[in-house]
Amino acid sequence: MKKKVLIIDDDFEIVNLLKLALENNQFEIIACYSADEVKRLIEKGFDVDVILLDYFLPHVDGISIAKILLEANIQAPVVFFTASDTDFLPEKMPENVIETVKKPFSIDNIIETLNRLIRIKRFLLHQSVENNFRKINVNQITSYPKELQDIIFTEKAISYKMILSKLSHGIKNSLQTILNYTELLEKGYIEDADKQRFFDTIRKKAEEIRSALDILRRPEITIFEENFSLKNVIKKALEDLKPRLKEKDVYIKLNFQKNLPLYFGYRMNFLTFFENLIGKSVECFENKGQLLISVYLHQQEYIIEIKLDGIVPFCENKLHFFDPSQNEVEGFEMTKAILALKDMGGKIQIEDIEKGIIYHIQLPMRSPNV
């Protein structure tokens, strides 16, 4: 009887090499690259002996996927494989998670693990106790601090821990591909016609590792696109600018659409844009001016309207905002703001009103797959 395995991982190269290696060892493979694909597969119905599940997937973690499988009554043991330290894993795992394998792993180790779990499952099925899997963890799983869980899986402020964790995941994934592609070449699993593509992939993954190591020199810069709350970043920017706003005694009012979807993109780009835009605007306020900020969604675009009420006459000239020769607290603030907005594909218009200015900003919604 052929052994059936479901692989759930968003990294095409790792899925490809696992599929190639396992199929050469009498396994039948089904692959999913996202949570949506898993849900569609559940709706269609499937039967496998074991599930290999990557812990980090776009917009969802492996625990959520394991719970979805459990709720759908999928009777197959789940093996987490992850590039992160197992110290980061939660202490309490879904009951269908039987084992955790760290990347980088060897093909032989994966095959041995799968064969062992399949033998156990079939024995338990034969004994009619398939719902009483015992957890067999080769790694001692320690507690997962709640604050770290929040940093990784929920909308929080930028964190070195988050950056380093994702860098570690990317580096180890690239190392995994290089290691296993080399192993497959040594075992003779690769046809001559495919060897050049494998060599090209190894070079590409080596370059990804080099780039990730370069990023470690500047960990304060977020280079990962992610879902984040515009509201939270705006509040952070205003908190950073609080001394300057307080000096002018500026009244601030925020108005956000309820249930506003998270924005997908570079958090630092948006923070740079917003801080510099408001930073440039502070010099225009008279004492006791008003700053009114509204954010809402309209026709697949985020609309941000920023109204400055109570400004000095000099600022009623739009060109003032784009004149870098002016004496500014933090340099060419508007220039930096516009460049950051351009990187996000956004647009800005400035409207003059009596004793005030309104910025009309448009940001397009983006798919994580862009």
How far is Cα 370 from Cα 347, in angstroms, rounded to an integer? 19
Q: Where in the chain is the domain with CATH 3.30.565.10?
A: 225-364
Mean pLDDT of the chain: 77
Residue predicted with more confidence, 314 or 112: 112
CA distances from 78 to 67, 87, 366 (A): 10, 19, 32
User: What does the alpha-carbon distance between residue 339 and residue 203 come to, in Å, rounded to a whole number?
Assistant: 33
> What are the CB-based long-range contacts (under 8 Å, 24+) for 351-354?
352/316, 352/318, 353/307
Q: What is the pTM of this model?
A: 0.44
pLDDT of residue 257: 93
Q: Are strands 50-54 and 78-82 parallel, antiparallel or unpaired?
A: parallel
If one looks up domain 3-215 in CATH, what number appears? 3.40.50.2300
Mean predicted confidence (pLDDT) in 142-153? 34
Say if residues 221 and 268 touch (Cβ distance below 8 Å): yes
Asked: is 225-364 a CATH 2.40.30.10 domain? The reply is no
Alpha-helical (H) ranges within 24-153 are: 35-44, 62-71, 107-126, 146-153
Q: Per this entry, what is the length of the chain?
A: 370
Determine the pLDDT at residue 267: 82
How far, CA to CA in Å, does 240 sit from each of 217, 235, 249, 295, 344? Answer: 24, 9, 15, 19, 22
For residue 47, the one-letter residue type is D
Helix, coil or strand: residue 332: coil
Element housing 347 (H / E): strand 347-353
- Write out the residue limits of the CATH 3.40.50.2300 domain(s) in the chain: 3-215
| pLDDT, position 156 | 30
Give the per-residue pLDDT at 89.
59
Per residue in 191-225, pLDDT (tens digit) is 888 889 888 888 888 887 877 776 666 544 444 67
**DSSP labels for 133-154?**
PPP--SS------HHHHHHHHS
